[in-house]
Structure 1
Amino acid sequence: MASGFLARWFGRKRLPSELRYEDARRVLESHQQKAKRELAAREDAPPEALYYLACDDDPEVRGLVAANRSAPIQANELLQDDTSAEVRGELARKIARLMPDIPAVERSAIQDRLIGLLEKLAEDELPRVRAIVAEEIASCPTVPRAIARRLARDAEMAVCGPILEYSPLLSDEDLIEIIATSGAPGAAAAIARRACVSTSVSDAVVTSRDEDAVGELLSNKGARIREDTMERIIERAPGIKTWHKPLVVRPELSMRAVRRIATFVSRALIDELRRTHDLDRETADWLKARAQSRIENGEEEAEPAPRESIRDAYAAGRLGDEIVMEAATTSQRASVVLAVSLLSGVPATKIEEVIAAQSGRGIAALCWKAGLSMRTALAIQTYIAHVPQPNLVLPREGIAYPMTQDEMRWHLQYFGADI
């Protein structure tokens, strides 16, 4: 009788829409993996069944339980030490998404246990699991501050980045300390992108001498920069072309700052200075004369060529992850494009198209074709393409490409880069 029922049930490939306890028990007794996976995903499954499935040999079944919001706390606690990173990742995502509904004080016993789970997952040995926690709780104000501070000090940019950029739980003192001590490349730049940056934090960013971070600070309308700090930036700016445009459009520049900037930026940017700022007549006339002088003397600058050291390194067989990573983390776009082009055989124009599309998967596929690591691909996504945080393609288990070779070939074909 039971076997005939199960045969009809599995033949339909669906559990009943109204799940009874007996239905769940029959699935568990049947040892049919397909049915167990379906049961593990059902939010109306009995808690006892989900707890039992949390111990299943099939990691896909355990992963479905980990993602199931109805799984009892006991099942979640079993899965926090699961041998599969994918299972722990699903659990991390689910628990982190529950945080906005958990108050900062006067929590229930179950809610305290959920916080304990989050603390454990925030310390997971694999960066990908920690990164999932960080991405999900980055903007949440009710997460325990200790968790946010721990993640903000993580050595992996994929982990600390979202917290540094979005968390409301970090004080100015926290941010200044992290700028001074963090070993994660890009930490200062993430802080510089925060919606509101105080003058003291801006001072710390400039003191760090991180070119990318200062560029982000200048581009951030929510960053407050003291006049003396702006003078320090302008002193360094002539040789750092990526700062020129954000300097020119920076609001509330003093007339002295406007004149100093006009001595080293292009004619087009001098014209933009005139359009952007409310200038006195003397300064406006001075800028107009400066722009005219540039035209008459033929001083218009050509775009700088990519670093010759990239070509030299390629010719010497030294071009690889270390050099490309350095170029990416210092925002040397032309050098990165040239390096990936030389290593992959893909024309630079195609690489520029992928970067312009901000395609994390496309960039990962290009780096794979170039023989570069997934960590380098992440650096290019972050610092060169500025891929939005939700669309970043992260390394699997901290180091590996998360896509199959067939998937990467598909993305290369999509962009016409399968040469």
Structure 2
Amino acid sequence: MEYSPAYEEAKRLARDGSEPERAALAALTDTRPELLYFLAGDDAASVRKAVAGNAAAPAQADGLLAGDADPAVRARLGRKLAPRAAALAAAQDRLGRIGWEALCRLAEDAAIRVRAVLAEELKAMPDAPHGLILQLARDAAMEVAEPVIHLSPLLSEADLLALAEAPPVPETLSAIARRPALSEAISDALVASANEAAIGALLGNESAAIRESTLDGLILQAATRLPWQERLVRRPALSPRAQRALALCVAGHLLEPLAARSDLAPGLARRLQARLEARLAETPEGPSEARLFEAAGLEGDLPRMARLLATQATVPLRMVEQAARLRSAKALVSLCWQAGFDMRCALLAQTVLGQVPPGAALLPAEDGDWPLSSTEMLWQIELLADPLTA
């Protein structure tokens, strides 16, 4: 077989050229396949990297470079092969299978940067192989998993639920929580995980659908979780009950953004404004007993909460401990009423001191008043005082 002078020159450069000359030859799409395969074994990483990025490189060269010692070379190869993933996965010929095997090797590469390149290329591809997308979504490195979890249209609700129920790492849950347009079922699974960071991310995801009952429970739990409060006050839609609960649990510096919501009921807006004005009028004489109780609740100091409540309600400590042990929302609210505390303290007494489940906690009436009549609250305290109930 006769070769042109140009081919003979290319052979000479491939064998004896300088590194820049070999790299330039390796990058040309009209370089003959056998020369590109030869250059795939070059000592210089820059030359092998040029071959890895060359669309004209033969499958055999790609197969060789998938095991290259330099992760930069493997990453360049991944960037080239990923857009061909659908065709390679479906290929029946030998060369197509070599390319698919090379891509699969890169998806399992020890270097995170190599796997991350694949994830970046495949994250929004509508026809990427489903199995490959699932593999990347299950990656323990968030640089790899998060782009795919966040954007891939191939991840079904069943896929996401499976990931939420058995996350490879805790950070997987937060990545799911940030995905646009989550369903109520997926939101429920994230809440069931009890992962605080993931729930915080979910609350910050304005496009996530969250059941009203689930959101109510999270608001009650948010009393001791400032990051959750910061996201809740900015959620686009809150039911009247959720608004009332949030008004009780938010920290002082979040009162203003909450009061600025356009969807607040008039009565609640007035109460928030009054609380804002009272906060501005506070004197530096020291916190009241109610604020000390609130601080103990935010710190999770249950013994101090119990002592403060017993002292202010002028009841034996055993009565407070009994109400907490019974997880009695009515009894704890009644003790706070007798202590002269407000409903914010009553919420902390229920959710922190009494560990009352969110669905069983008592919120103020729509007019902001106590949820029980004074007669019923006095009766609850009498029940606690009865030694037969201890």
TM-score, normalised by the number of residues in structure 2: 0.66
Superposed counterparts of 1:251-270, under 5 Å? 251-270=236-255
Corresponding position: 1:208 with 2:193: yes
**What secondary structure, in the 3-state scheme, does the structure 2 residue paired with 1:263 have?**
helix
* 1:122 Cα deviation after fit: 0.7
Corresponding position: 1:38 with 2:43: no
Distance 1:113 1:225 in 2: 46
Distance 1:53 1:104 in 2: 23
How many residue pairs match? The answer is 282
Aligned pair partner of 2:117 in 129, 132, 136 = 132
* 1:54 Cα deviation after fit: 0.9
TM-aligned CA distance change 1:131 to 1:49, over 3 Å: same
Corresponding position: 1:196 with 2:181: yes
Partner amino acid for 1:296?
Answer: A
Q: Which runs of 4+ in 1 moved over 4 A?
A: 102-113
Check conservation: 1:145, 1:169, Cα contact below 8 A: yes
Aligned pair partner of 1:50 in 28, 31, 36 = 36
TM-aligned CA distance change 1:119 to 1:287, over 3 Å: same
TM-aligned CA distance change 1:233 to 1:171, over 3 Å: same
Cα shift readout 1:213-255 (whole Å, capped 9, x = no counterpart): 1121111121111111101211221111112221001011011
2:133 aligns to what?
148
Distance 1:64 1:161 in 2: 29
Question: Based on CA coordinates, which of the two structures has the bigger radius of gyration?
Answer: 2
Ranges in structure 1 where 5+ consecutive residues have no aligned partner: 1-18, 305-419
1:273 aligns to what?
258
Cα shift readout 1:63-98 (whole Å, capped 9, x = no counterpart): 211122221222112211223322212211221244
Partner amino acid for 2:174?
Answer: A
* 1:199 Cα deviation after fit: 0.7
Distance 1:210 1:56 in 2: 49
Q: Percent identity?
A: 39
Corresponding position: 1:94 with 2:70: no
TM-score, normalised by the number of residues in structure 1: 0.61
Deviates more, 1:45-54 or 1:275-284: 275-284
Superposed counterparts of 1:246-325, under 5 Å? 246-297=231-282
Distance 1:58 1:98 in 2: 27
Check conservation: 1:259, 1:287, Cα contact below 8 A: no
Deviates more, 1:254-263 or 1:106-115: 106-115
Partner amino acid for 1:213?
Answer: A
Distance 1:188 1:44 in 2: 47
TM-aligned CA distance change 1:107 to 1:221, over 3 Å: farther
Distance 1:233 1:297 in 2: 30
2:354 aligns to what?
none
1:416 aligns to what?
none
* 1:105 Cα deviation after fit: 8.9
Check conservation: 2:60, 2:98, Cα contact below 8 A: no
Superposed counterparts of 1:366-381, under 5 Å? none
TM-aligned CA distance change 1:119 to 1:174, over 3 Å: same
2:205 aligns to what?
220
1:390 aligns to what?
none
Distance 1:111 1:261 in 2: 58
Corresponding position: 1:82 with 2:75: no
Check conservation: 2:142, 2:171, Cα contact below 8 A: yes
* 1:280 Cα deviation after fit: 2.5
Check conservation: 1:103, 1:142, Cα contact below 8 A: no
Distance 2:60 2:193 in 1: 46
* 1:204 Cα deviation after fit: 1.2
Partner amino acid for 1:221?
Answer: E
1:325 aligns to what?
none
TM-aligned CA distance change 1:257 to 1:104, over 3 Å: farther
Partner amino acid for 1:269?
Answer: L
Check conservation: 2:88, 2:96, Cα contact below 8 A: no
2:148 aligns to what?
163
Partner amino acid for 1:53?
Answer: L
Check conservation: 2:88, 2:97, Cα contact below 8 A: no
TM-aligned CA distance change 1:54 to 1:106, over 3 Å: closer
2:52 aligns to what?
66
